[in-house]
Structure 1
Amino acid sequence: MPLAGAVGGAWVLAGGVTGAVLGLGAGVVLWWWRGRQLAAGRAEAVDTAAATRQLPLAADLLAACIAAGAGPVVAAQAVGEALGGPVGRALARGAAEVRLGGEPAAAWRGLAQLPGAAALARLLERADESGLPAAEPAARLASDARAQWARTATARARRAAVLISAPVGLCFLPAFIAVGVLPVVIGLAGGMRGGR
């Protein structure tokens, strides 16, 4: 519909073949732009799922790097570059901003926007501002993220078991009626008829 509107609008404004060509060009650009917007929306949804999966590993790697003696910013930079994905990009971007002199709260905001990563972002911000040790809290965050992921997976499995029982029950119900209930009803009806 927007493509037809662009072609028709340009044809009315410019008129003739020139208007049709301009409208067709505007329609193609509009169609291309809309496709990119839809692709960006789909990519964001995929990134959310990837971020949820990557978060425990990222926190474990951060804890290991910090325990080995690296500072929180250096550890975040190393883990971000090694890990990749949405969590890795957010870690690398935040570390780069802090190293360039950015405010830690603003630098780790991108990480905090990922699902479940707000506590890790606060930890990195506090460790950078105050110098508090961050290895044990990062390991604890990894453990908590893994436990949350396991709880979510268990809840999904339970929900799937409940949802699958209805179709299975509907498949076996006709067989149960045909093999179990119908012969009994026919036998009782025959017995009542013969008993007259």
Structure 2
Amino acid sequence: MLTWPVARSPAARLNSIVSTAASETPVRGSPGPGSMSESAARRGMAVAAPVGVALFLFLGGLMGACAGTVAAIGLFVAVRRREPAEVRRRRERMGADLPFAVDLIVACLRAGQPMSGAVETTAVAIAGPVGERLSWVGAQMRLGAPPEEAWAALSDEPALGALARTMIRAAQSGAPVADVLTRLADDARRTAQATASAAARRVGVHAVAPLGLCFLPAFVFLGIVPMVAGLAGQILLP
């Protein structure tokens, strides 16, 4: 019995192509959740196992076994929950590129380009992780996907979630997209400035500890040792 294949929309065909390509050829520099969790598990085991064994050998007996087990489990969980440096750098770059990307989308829209063309032009100009996601959204809209569905894929991303939700609301309400995006770009720029200021303050705080360690020996020998020696002389001498 012969049956005709079920027709699929362009957006569904694009989703299948993207998922197939991602499963066959992983993107360099953007590991999937599975690989990141496996890498975190390996790092946790590499740190937790030696510490647990060292505590067991140092304390010995039941106390050493309990202390080693608790320490190993705690270190394993802490290392697994820690954000990898690559993921942190990628997130920080996306947050820094977002205001420029939104400004470019606004400029393209005011120049007369459609939304899909504006998003794809911005993706080529920005590149990086933001460009990858905008390129995917622009391709979906160019192939006929509704803007709400195309942007919904980015609504859960920490860096691009605000942009995606703004575009969804603008598409549903019919509000002028350029004006809404201009306000979003201003908010993203203020957020990026606040993040940079906080990072600069953290650098200053972290620099105090090494300086304190450098001055600590001089403080001990010049301030504490003479005082202790003087008190000891007064107490011990008849």
Matched, 1:102 2:176: no
**Mapping for residues 15-164 of structure 1, pairs under 5 Å:** 40-41=31-32, 45=87, 46-164=89-207
2:216 alignment counterpart: 173
Say how many residue pairs are matched: 162
Distance 2:147 2:27 in 1: 32
User: Does structure 2 retain, via aligned residues, the 8 Å contact 1:51–1:114?
Assistant: no
1:82–1:37 Cα change, 3 Å: closer
Partner amino acid for 2:213?
A: L
Inter-CA distance 156–77: structure 2 relative to 1 (3 Å threshold): same
Q: Which has the higher helix share?
A: 1
* TM-score of the aligned structures, taking structure 2 as reference length: 0.56
Amino acid at match of 2:218: A
Q: Distance in 2 between matches of 1:37 and 1:65?
A: 30
Change (3 A) 1:47 1:186: closer
1:97-143 Cα distance to aligned partner (Å, 9 max, x none): 11221122221134334322122112333444554212222122122
Deviates more, 1:94-103 or 1:64-73: 64-73
Q: Return the alpha-carbon distance in structure 2 between the equivalents of residues 184 and 40 of structure 1.
A: 59
RMSD over aligned CA atoms reads 3.2
Change (3 A) 1:93 1:37: closer
Kindly provide the amino acid, as one letter, of the partner of residue 106 in structure 1.
Answer: E
Residues 91 and 111 of structure 1 are in contact (CA less than 8 Å); yes or no, is this contact kept in structure 2?
A: no
Q: Structure 1's 166 and 114: CA in aligned 2 closer, same or farther, altered over 3 A?
A: same
Identity of aligned residues (%): 42
Structure 2, unaligned runs of 5 or more: 1-23, 37-84
In 1, the alpha carbon distance for the partners of 2:232 and 2:115 equals 82
The answer as to whether partners of 1:55 and 1:145 remain within 8 angstroms in 2 is yes
Residue 73 and residue 128 in structure 1: after superposition, are their counterparts in 2 closer, same or farther (change >3 A)? farther
Q: Tell me the CA shift for residue 189 of structure 1.
A: 4.1
Change in Cα spacing, 1:92 to 1:130, as seen in structure 2 (3 Å) is: farther
Secondary structure of the residue aligned to 1:76 is helix
TM superposition shift of 1:44: 7.2
The whole-number CA distance in structure 1 between the counterparts of 2:114 and 2:102 is: 14
- Residue 36 of structure 1 deviates from its aligned partner by 9.1
Bigger Rg, which one: 1
Aligned to 1:40, the other structure's residue is in SS state coil
